[in-house]
Amino acid sequence: MTQAANQGFKPSVTVAAIIEQGGRFLLVEEHTPEGLKLNNPAGHLDPGESPSEGCARETLEETAYHFTPTHLVGIYLSRFARTLASGQVQDITYLRFAFCGELGDAVPNQPLDHGIVRTLWMTEAEIRASAARHRSPLLLKCLDDYLAGKRFALDLVFTDASIYGI
């Protein structure tokens, strides 16, 4: 790739939670430009937070459950092209940090984030059978890595103090 093609390349950093209870996984059903899709509780990393903090925040916003990341499952890179109404193609690269951990209490009357229709608990088989409805191929990859026992210490991702104070 030429230097000109690299100019302005900034992957979107996202965080995702893989949450299992009793053989079922917590997913969200959400409105997207491509229609109603299934995804892990996930979203963009915000300024002033570590990836694990962002994951806890996004899980609360999208599911109304507290979540405490305990392990990093993996770091993933994917690319997505979206055709805009203007006919232009939007080329998006995602850098996803996926975590597993402990699901906490639900927050009564907490509204779900904009675009989230509902939360649902699905088995591995149900998730695999619904692949055409997945927002991203990373949903299955993260599930596979989680089921394979991939777990890394949270300190694998170092967050410098400057993140909190600039």
- What residue ranges do the domains of the chain occupy? 11-156
Lookup: tokens for 150? 């991939």
Task: Write phi, then psi, for 125 (nearest 5 degrees).
Answer: -65, -40
Topology (CATH level 3) of domain 11-156? Nucleoside Triphosphate Pyrophosphohydrolase (3.90.79)
Q: What is the pLDDT of residues 122-140, one digit of tens each?
A: 999 999 999 999 999 999 9
Nearest Cα to 63, choosing from 42, 82, 48?
42
Residues 6 or more apart in contact with residue 105 via CB below 8 angstroms = 65, 66
pTM (two decimals): 0.91
More confident residue, 24 or 81: 24
Q: What is the pLDDT of residues 100-125, one digit of tens each?
A: 999 999 999 999 999 999 999 999 99
Q: What is the pLDDT of residues 38-89, one digit of tens each?
A: 999 999 999 999 999 999 999 999 999 999 999 999 999 999 887 888 888 8
